[in-house]
Amino acid sequence: MNNSWTLIVDFTFLSFLIFVGAILKARLPFLRKLIIPTCMVAGFLGLILGPELLGWLPFNMDILGDFVYHLMGIGFIALSLKERDIKKSPDLINSGMLIVSTYLIQGIVGFGLFLLLAKTAYPKLFPGIGLLLPLGYGQGPGQAYSIGSQWEELGVVGGGNLGLTVAGFGFIWATFVGVVLINFLVRSKRFKQGHLGTTKSHRKIVEESAPDEIPLSDAIDKLTYQAALIGFIYLITYLTIFGLEKILVPLGTYGETLAQLLIGFHFLIGSLYAMLFRYILNKLEGAGLKLEHSPNNYLLQRISGFSFDYMIAASISAISIYALEEYLIPVLILTTLGGIVTIIFMLWVVPRIFREDQLANVLGFYGMLTGTISTGMALVKAVDPRFQSNTPDNLVMGSATAIIFGFVLLLILNIPVVGYVQNQPIMYVYTFVALLLYFGVLLGVLFYRASKKGVQKNRK
């Protein structure tokens, strides 16, 4: 068969798996009871039926990796283009800081563990692999694969596959362990009925369409216009990455390493451009200048949903079991410890940050910071079926503000790879200290803001 069909055939395989996964999710009682996205069911079906196990679906693993990489960028740009009614609320900033604080505690645990393993039982182990824990758990399979793959370009064996594997275990903790966590917490005296989202009436999130959106009789389809906007911003993202690579690579090892890392964080660059585009568009509209058409929130949400569903299915299908054999024990220790620490941290920090809807917020942030925002929402729905709590706002808006605080973490991620390439183990120490310092600063500011908000409420 012509090579040009390879991408399309793999896309049809993924489509078939998602179709079958939707049927199984609807028809099998035990799957209906599990809080697990259909795309994740499809991914595990792809893993079983794919070339690694049964071999019934001859996936091209490189193509699946490309799917994961690019669909993540498209999905984040689509989300960032959406217009939302963002109120000046400390919870939005606090949510972003909480998300990045969790990345940091996961990074401290993962990196510290692999430093210990590298000094004892696994002397050839790259300690930076421990940083795949916050990438796979906190940010999802797309980011973990993207960064891991760029590490492979710099000599880290199996980086992309390890990222997907860590994210796969994260989904297990988000879903299976999440169900256990729900049943435990709803029976806990610490979380009374008043914390389920009934303490206060919250406005339900409703996406509103623009009054002057594209009519059906127009020369361009509504969906086509949204795709064109996303494609335009993705082009600017590509040109930025390409330009930075040309500038950074001649600067030496650190510049080359940073360039590879920026390629892995293409979704972040695309999101920032999308937010800037949306901000400029709003300013122009405020001044009475409008584009011929406006971005449509509903269609952008559908595009991002499509992208993330296929991305998750592809990411799990692309996990290489055989390539994992060398790191199986360390990865099992890493993901287990990471799951336990995330639960403990959520139970400790969330009630101190959010005085209302504590149970919904604990479950939502836990589900998102071990899986994706969809698993977080699924756990919230179990205790807040009408989404009356403030948790959906906190998860969605917090993810946007987390980009700001996560930039420092992006720089820290570059340090151990430079140490690995230049054979300078002292860089690993610098990385660990930087993670601890930033975690301390961020947590201190977060608690200060939360206490200040509590004082202001008491005065009212």
Task: Give the domain ranges of the chain.
Answer: 3-202+219-459
Question: How far apart are the C-alpha atoms of 110 and 132, rounded to whole Å?
Answer: 8
HSE, CB side, 13 Å, CA atoms: give it for residue 371: 29
**Global pTM?**
0.71
φ and ψ at 221, to 5 degrees?
A: -75, 150
pLDDT by residue for the chain (460 residues), tens digit each?
Answer: 556 788 889 999 999 999 999 999 888 888 777 666 788 788 889 989 988 788 899 888 888 888 888 888 898 888 788 776 555 455 778 888 999 999 999 999 999 999 998 888 788 778 888 888 998 888 777 677 777 877 777 677 777 778 878 887 888 898 788 878 887 888 777 765 444 444 444 444 444 445 555 454 456 788 888 999 999 999 999 999 999 888 887 887 667 767 776 777 787 788 889 888 988 888 888 787 776 677 888 888 888 888 888 887 887 787 776 666 667 788 889 999 999 999 999 999 999 888 778 888 999 899 889 987 767 877 887 777 766 777 877 886 777 678 778 878 878 887 888 888 888 889 999 999 999 999 999 999 999 988 876 545 555 5
Question: How far apart are the C-alpha atoms of 161 and 62, rounded to whole Å?
Answer: 11
Question: How far apart are the C-alpha atoms of 264 and 257, rounded to whole Å?
Answer: 11
Amino acid at 330: P
